[in-house]
Amino acid sequence: MNRRALMIAGLVVAAAAGATLFFLLSGRTSPRSARVMQWIRNPAAHSEWAVLAGERCGAAPFVMPTNGFIGFLWDDSFRPGHRHTGLDIFGGTDTGITPVVAAYDGYLTRLSDWKSTVIIRIPDDPLQPGRQIWTYYTHMADAQGNSLIASGFPPGVTEKFVTAGTLLGTQGNYSGTAGNPTGVHLHFSVVKDDGQGKFLNELELYNTIDPSPYFNLTLNAAEADPGMIPLCQTEFGD
């Protein structure tokens, strides 16, 4: 590639990055994006923002699946056209430290090629009895894709019963591409069943369910006050 082509490519990348940053800082996600950056830079200074693994908010069916700050919500948007399918909970630690636990009783599967992900089948939705749902947990690997999932759940395990609070692994920063890490966090989502006993593609928002009622918190970006921090005790602003 000649110098001119390299310069053009660089300008395109810079423009795309600038557009993404502008979108993050100008939309409804912007206060949450700012708080995520504050948390990542100094989690100890904002310890009151954190939820705790195994914590239950009142009469919520689910317990919290990890420790940390719930930084991004269901249906948040990080770039034009993007819709976030779950929760991003930032532990504020290095990889391999912050525990990830099952939010509810169910049957765990880890596909043979999953380095950082497990999914748990819940045969009877606690909020809609008779409906099957799935809970999805990912980013449990380091930047190179070395798994941080608990040894009891090796690749290929299927339908292993776990109870709420069972240790599934620890938070990581695997993005799906080795050497291109994301921030250390857990991505958690509630996924619909396809009606044939299988889970739908978690990457599409319409295949997931607003997790708010399962945790007894406002976790839907379209409904949440951007200035509020989701916590079991209360939801408060600055």
CATH number (domain holding residue 84): 2.70.70.10
> Is 223 inside a domain boundary?
no
What pLDDT, in 10s, does the model give residues 8-41? 333 233 323 333 333 333 445 578 889 999 999 9
The answer to the question of residue 139 being in a domain is yes
Is 108 inside any structural domain?
Answer: yes
CA distances in angstroms from 197 to 114, 129, 133, listed in the order given: 20, 15, 9
**What pLDDT does residue 78 have?**
74
pLDDT digits (tens, 9 = 90+) for 152-180: 999 999 999 999 999 999 999 999 999 99
- Residue 36 CB neighbours (<10 A): 20
Q: Is residue 229 part of a domain?
A: no
What's the pTM value of the predicted model, to 2 decimals?
A: 0.86
Count of domains for the chain: 1
Q: How confident is the model at residue 5, as a pLDDT?
A: 39
How far are the Cα atoms of 12, 63, 205, 222 from residue 73, in angstroms, in the given order?
Answer: 29, 17, 12, 9
pLDDT at 234 over 80: no
- In the chain, what is the greatest distance between 2 CA atoms, to the nearest angstrom? 63
Is the pLDDT confidence value at 87 over 90? yes
Q: Are 138 and 145 in contact (CB under 8 A)?
A: no
- 177 within some domain: yes
**Structural element, H or E, at residue 19:** helix 3-26
Q: Where in the sequence is the domain holding 60, given as residue range(s)?
A: 3-215
Query: Residue 40 domain-assigned?
Result: yes
**pLDDT on residue 82:** 80
The predicted model gives 68-72 an average pLDDT of 97
* pLDDT score of 148 more than 90: yes
Task: For 101-142, write each residue's pLDDT tens digit.
Answer: 999 999 999 999 999 999 999 999 999 999 999 999 999 999
User: Is the dihedral angle over the CA atoms 181, 191, 213, 56 positive or is it negative?
Assistant: negative
pLDDT, position 28: 52
**224 located within any domain:** no
pLDDT category, 7, cuts 50, 70, 90? very low
For residue 43, is it within any domain? yes
